[in-house]
Amino acid sequence: MIVVVALAVATAVPASPAAGAKKVRVGGEVSISIPGFNPENGQSLASGRVKAKRGCDGVRVLRFAYFSSTGQETAQELTSVVSLSNGRYLVALPEPFGDTAPYTLRIFVQRRQTTFRGGKVNCKAIRSSAPVPASP
């Protein structure tokens, strides 16, 4: 009877998640909404969200770049932003300029390492793009 109780206790205690665990690689996606550019200041308050599992959606660095219709990056530089802990972000985008409209906004989310439930997680870099609305 003592052996049965010892077996029950041994099977009831879960093994630690870090024991022999590998680093998990997690991808994801990023969304953006560009409502249009204000003619007064030439900016748009674009918003979006980094969507990923295992804690990879929070506090990520996002970089933005405009690309022309020919696929060339414009000389215009955009600022980087840091997402909130829930993955949401808000960025003031300047209106693109140049000769080769329509433009595409490409988004690059930097990779990072984090822990999730005691295990190490490598959050992969995420890339996305969105068409830029035409000027009014």
Provide the residue range defining the domain that includes 120. Answer: 18-131
Whether 88 is covered by a domain: the verdict is yes
Going by pLDDT thresholds of 50, 70 and 90, the confidence category of residue 72 is confident
Type of residue numbered 114 = T
Distances (CA, A) of 128 to 28, 74, 94: 10, 17, 19
Domain assignment present for residue 1? The answer is no
CATH number at residue 51: 2.60.40
* Span 73-92, average pLDDT: 87
Q: Which residues have CB under 8 Å from 1's CB, separation 6+?
A: none
Instruction: Band the pLDDT of 7: cuts 50, 70, 90.
Output: very low
Question: What share of the chain has pLDDT > 70, as a percent?
Answer: 82
How confident is the model at residue 18, as a pLDDT?
A: 46
pTM listed for this prediction: 0.74
- Look at residue 104 and tell me whether its pLDDT is greater than 60: yes
H or E, element range at 43? strand 43-52
Does the residue 9 lie in any domain?
no
Domain for residue 10, yes or no? no
Q: Is residue 4, in this structure, part of any structural domain at all?
A: no
- Has residue 74 got a pLDDT over 50? yes
Rounded average pLDDT over 93-97: 86
- Among residues 96, 93, 101, 104, which one has the least CA distance to residue 127? 104
In angstroms, rounded to a whole number, what is the distance separating the alpha carbons of residues 95 and 42?
Answer: 5
Residue 3 located in a structural domain: no
Task: Dump pLDDT digits (tens) for 30-49.
Answer: 999 998 888 888 888 999 99
The whole-number pLDDT of residue 38 equals 87
Specify the number of domains making up the chain: 1
pLDDT at residue 136 in the model: 62
